Amino acid sequence: MSITDFLTDLFNPNLAFLPKALAIAVMSSIVCGVVGCYVVLRGMAFIGDAVAHAVFPGIAVAFVLQGSLVLGGAVAGVATALLIAIFAQNRRVKEDSIIGVFLVGAFALGIVIISQAPGYAGSLQQFLFGSITGIPDRDLYVVGGAGLVILGLVLALHKEFVAVCLDREMSRSMGLPVFWLDIVLYVLVTLAVVISLQTIGNILVLALLITPAAAARLLTDRLGAMMLLSPVIGGLAAVIGLFLSWSYDTPVGGTIVLIATAIFLTAWLLAPRHGLLAKRWRRVGGPGRTDVTRRSSLSTPASAPAP
């Protein structure tokens, strides 16, 4: 299928689900790209996986009651995020252990709930792997509104999030409410995951949160540039992935994730400073490399991007 044919299908009234799927895929990719930067900086990818599983009971209840899957998943995800943040305050058990407990417990609860609904097998596959059909108009508005709320909170609390992600103890000494910032960040991750479930699915949604941000991390040392590049990469993966999925009849979620992964691998190989080829080129003494550039490259920590 050519790009022209794809654009024609987008404006075909008999394929009204296609532009809705594209809009949700792009919006969720942008939101996940922004929120994912904090997840990557803090090294909390596991919380994204936990939230993706934690929303499943809410989705199951919403499916059984014929309600909004987005709202049902959001309620369950936020409740689980709050429980993780509260239980993680007890340092006797590490945070990743608490997350693991709630991850499997919430997902198991969702399986039990949805198994009580007639004809659940097909719907279960849609929840796990995503679908571009059957997206109601109300979910489009919910995703758009939730996306604006998430981006607004990120803009308002950006400095605080960066401080907590880079140095929690220093943030406490500065008087920042680290516990409440943790809760807000968990909630934002939850909402970003929930609005992505329609097209990506429960199993693959973590990739949309992590992969674009990780690719952007390889391409720049500036946090501001990273937070611009990450949603661009995610949005590009969504558009190309949906085009290829529609052209070759492949699962939309898996195709989008594969495109995002390909972009990450390209950045890992070809990034101008942190790519594999660039590092090898510097190691063998590429042209123009001076002692000053050697010292400056060594003095810049790779784990702490400049704001």
Structure tokens at 185: 């960040």
Beta strands in 67-126 (DSSP E): none
Which residues are CB-contacts of 220 (< 8 A; sequence separation ≥ 6)? 226, 229, 305
Structure tokens at 107: 């997902």
| Burial of 15 per CB tally in 10 Å (0-12, 13-18, 19+) | middle
pLDDT digits (tens, 9 = 90+) for 90-144: 667 776 777 778 778 887 888 788 777 665 555 556 666 666 666 777 778 888 8
pLDDT digits (tens, 9 = 90+) for 26-63: 998 999 999 999 988 887 777 777 777 778 788 778 87
pLDDT digits (tens, 9 = 90+) for 166-193: 888 888 898 999 888 888 988 888 888 8
d(CA 196, CA 226): 21
Which residues are CB-contacts of 250 (< 8 A; sequence separation ≥ 6)? 244
- Sign of the Cα torsion 141, 81, 188, 217 reads negative
Contact present, 32 and 212 (Cβ < 8 Å) = yes
Q: Look over the chain and give the mean of its residue pLDDT values, rounded to a whole number.
A: 81
In the structure, what pLDDT confidence band is assigned to residue 300 with cuts at 50, 70 and 90? very low
More confident residue, 194 or 257: 257
More confident residue, 199 or 185: 185
- Among candidates 243, 240, 199, which has minimal Cα distance to 5? 243
Structure tokens at 132: 């571009």
Using DSSP's 3-state secondary structure scheme, residue 301 falls into coil
d(CA 149, CA 147): 5
- Sign of the Cα torsion 286, 290, 292, 295 reads positive
In the structure, what pLDDT confidence band is assigned to residue 293 with cuts at 50, 70 and 90? very low
In the structure, what pLDDT confidence band is assigned to residue 5 with cuts at 50, 70 and 90? confident
- Among candidates 242, 18, 74, 205, which has minimal Cα distance to 129? 205
Q: Quote the pLDDT of residue 302.
A: 46
Alpha-carbon dihedral 94, 100, 106, 108, rounded to 10 degrees: -150
Q: Which domains does the chain have, with CATH numbers?
A: 3-299 (1.10.3470.10)
- In our burial notation (b when 16+ CB lie closer than 10 A, e otherwise), range 238-272 reads bbbbbbbbbeeeebbbbbbbbbbeebbeebeeebe
pLDDT digits (tens, 9 = 90+) for 234-265: 999 999 999 998 888 888 888 999 999 999 99
Structure tokens at 207: 């990739």
